Amino acid sequence: MNWKTPDLRVHPPRSPRVRLGGYVILPRMLDKGRALLAGTNGEYNYNCPLDQQFLTFTGLDAEALKAELAAGKSDAEILAWVQAHARPRSPAEILAWSAWQEQRAPDNPEARAFFNEIHQKLAPHRTDIVTWFDLLDLDDYVSFGGRP
């Protein structure tokens, strides 16, 4: 995978479970932002509801982050920018938030119906798919040829 300009028409972004600076979601968001800038984002959307979970927690703006990506910054440089501009959080707060995100499941009837529809389409026999991260990982796997 070309991390500088990922082609999300050929492979998925990093799993939402992958961490950068303790933050889940961030590496995936960076992949989608870089692909958007390169015109290679395919079906993936930057600043989607999952990305907005990270943005809400940090208090960052999607367009400001995208501008940093457009400047060609590496993951380490982006992390330094995040740490300088995000709402101050202790390492324990970041760890707790990331752990909560990893376990987050649909929390209302509409979200549950949406989740179940995708789950049933992709792999109805997979009883281990219970969180949003589980569903995203499964969708990425199946979308690029994996057999559930």
Q: What is the pLDDT of residue 94?
A: 99
Same domain for 72 and 6: yes
Q: What is the pLDDT of residue 47?
A: 98
State whether 79 and 93 are in the same domain.
Answer: yes
**23: nearest Cα among 106, 98, 101, 121:** 98
Q: Residue 43 sits in which domain range?
A: 1-104
pLDDT (tens place) for every residue of the chain, 148 residues total: 677 789 999 999 999 999 999 999 999 999 999 999 999 999 999 999 999 999 999 999 999 999 999 999 999 999 999 999 999 999 999 999 999 999 999 999 999 999 999 999 999 999 999 999 999 999 999 999 998 8
User: Are 38 and 23 contained in the same domain?
Assistant: yes
140: number of Cβ within 10 Å: 19
Distance, CA of 59 to CA of 34 (rounded, Å): 20
Length of the chain: 148
Collapsing DSSP to helix, strand or coil, 124 comes out as coil
Q: What is the pLDDT of residue 131?
A: 98
Tell me: do 9 and 35 sit in the same domain.
Answer: yes
Same domain, 6 and 52: yes
Say if residue 127 is in the same domain as residue 94: no
pTM of the model: 0.94
Sole residue written with tokens 């303790």: 22
User: How many domains is the chain built from?
Assistant: 2
Same domain? For 45 and 95 the reply is: yes
| Whether residue 74 is found in the same domain as residue 116 | no
In angstroms, rounded to a whole number, what is the distance separating the alpha carbons of residues 119 and 115? 6
Asked whether residue 84 falls in the same domain as residue 109, the answer is no
The answer on 93 and 66 residing in a single domain is: yes
pLDDT of residue 33: 98
- pLDDT of 5: 85
If asked whether residues 115 and 55 sit together in one domain, one would say no
Tokens of 111: 């979200």
